Chain A
Amino acid sequence: DAGVTQTPRHEVAEKGQTIILKCEPVSGHNDLFWYRQTKIQGLELLSYFRSKSLMEDGGAFKDRFKAEMLNSSFSTLKIQPTEPKDSAVYLCASSRDRGTGQLYFGEGSKLTVL
């Protein structure tokens, strides 16, 4: 099986722009997560879907971050408008429904906002 696929791997944006990050989970996995990774905060949960339903929308990230799961095999994370503090690695992960609790992470999308 293919792992979690994320695109683009790198993105450079100007402040105020809209960017869309994409994720394809492992086939057959029902849970999908978006995390933001920074050196200071570590891994912060942005959004969590179970069987395409949004279970958590990340609290503090709600106003400019919007994740969607268009079908069971594709998700997007939109950041609008971007700010320099959004510079980070965005990781997508998937897992089987109520399975082992093991997350399979993609390689991440590194975002730099100038």
Chain B
Amino acid sequence: GAGVSQSPSNKVTEKGKDVELRCDPISGHTALYWYRQSLGQGLEFLIYFQGNSAPDKSGLPSDRFSAERTGGSVSTLTIQRTQQEDSAVYLCASSEGPEPYNEQFFGPGTRLTVL
């Protein structure tokens, strides 16, 4: 079946503009995660959705970052008033459930470049 998909693949924007990044998880997966990967770094957790529960936003670096998940499926990560330090690859992952033994399946990511 189809894996996790993300769009756009690449996004170039100017400092101060808002951007929206989209994630389509694997059908039926209740858990969805957003991570950020800066150049030469590991992945940094941003936000986690599980079913209809309130999301875990503990990883969001500032109030310029927000995310929503509509109908328990598609998720959108929004970055307002982008800064150059926001340049990174944004990865989305989904899993069948929240249990730690469940594999997280990753999408190919969106490379964001803020000029």
Q: Do A and B come from one complex?
A: no
